[in-house]
Amino acid sequence: MPPVTLGALAARLPRTPLTRFAPSPTGYLHLGHVVNAIWVWGLARALEGRVLLRLEDHDRGRCRSDYEAALLEDLDWLGLAPDLGPTRQRDATAVYLDTLAALERRGLVYACDCSRRDISREGGDVPHLETRYPGRCRDRGLPSGEGRGQRLRLADTVERFTDELLGPQEQVPALQCGDPLLRDRHGNWTYQFAVVVDDLRQGVDLVVRGADLVGSTGRQIALGRLLGRDDPPVYLHHPLLRRPDGAKLSKAAGDTGIRELRAAGVSAPAVLGRAAEAAGLTTDARPLPADELARLFTGA
């Protein structure tokens, strides 16, 4: 991918946007996170916008306070200071409950007692494709309660949007995923629900994230519209940083982490430069100070 400038991006990028960097504290930061941070901070600074730091800690079973502390420390070391935040999803329970209740009053939510095994068995697992919820509980009339998740009744509509890098997109969420889960059987809020509620209430109008999440966009636009957001955020899905075998970097796989690079004596500008080069945003890995990220997108 050649170096990207603002002139090469679609003209509808919002001026002075509010975007967000939204990691989950389920592990330590690695170079893949830094690639996303470069896109987020670089575009925000180039557009004279702001960055909100949002810690997406909705998964209570996997998020840990030591990961959160390390994440904040690494961002500070890299020189990536947010304009707003950090905010934490664990502090938004009342907002999520109120939003869920409003959807329930409109008859848009139903209880579901299906396990992942049930869904896989009935819906059929296809390698490398998302397993679609087949709708087993849609008309069962189960009462909400312990051990039961809550799903959104999703209309069979086509969602069209323009991704600022990938171009025009067309998705039918009902065929992709079926009725999405808003809260799981253990009481955890799901990513799909929490991010839509958060982006709406926090005023995020530019979402910059990895290409692995482009498939979630149509359902998030649909949910946002049900919550009163007729004009969705502008979306930009950038390429992922991958391992030599083609797999994306992950926290679980022990990929090169920021803490390991720091311990080896690598400087913060060197880490940013290495990530920018790996992402195709520069042609070499020369050190890149955080206050120069905007020039990746302005060409200045």
For 228-281, the pLDDT digits (tens) are 999 999 999 999 886 555 555 555 444 588 999 999 999 999 999 999 998 888
pLDDT at 241: 84
Q: What is the pLDDT of residues 106-159, one digit of tens each?
A: 999 999 999 888 787 665 555 546 789 999 999 999 999 999 999 999 999 999
Give 139's DSSP letter.
T
**Is pLDDT at 220 greater than 60 in this prediction?**
yes
How far is residue 73's CA from residue 53's CA, in Å, rounded to a whole number? 13
Side-chain-facing half-sphere of 121: CA atoms under 13 Å: 6
User: 5 or 210: which carries more pLDDT confidence?
Assistant: 210
pLDDT at 254: 47
Q: How far is CA 131 from CA 108, 175, 180, 190, 285, in A?
A: 22, 10, 11, 16, 39
**Is pLDDT at 88 greater than 60 in this prediction?**
yes
Tell the residue number behind the tokens 């940083």, with chain if given.
Answer: 241
Q: Once rounded to an integer, what is the mean pLDDT over residues 183-204?
A: 97
Tell me, yes or no, if the pTM score tops 0.75: yes
Q: Is 211:237 a contact under the CB 8 Å cutoff?
A: yes
Q: Is 19:51 a contact under the CB 8 Å cutoff?
A: yes
> SS3 sequence, 33-60?
HHHHHHHHHHHHHHCCCEEEEEECCCCC
- Amino acid at the residue 185: R
- Rounded to a whole number, what is the distance in angstroms from the first to the last CA of the chain? 19
Q: Of 215, 195, 239, which is closest to residue 129 (Cα–Cα)?
A: 215
Give 196's DSSP letter.
H
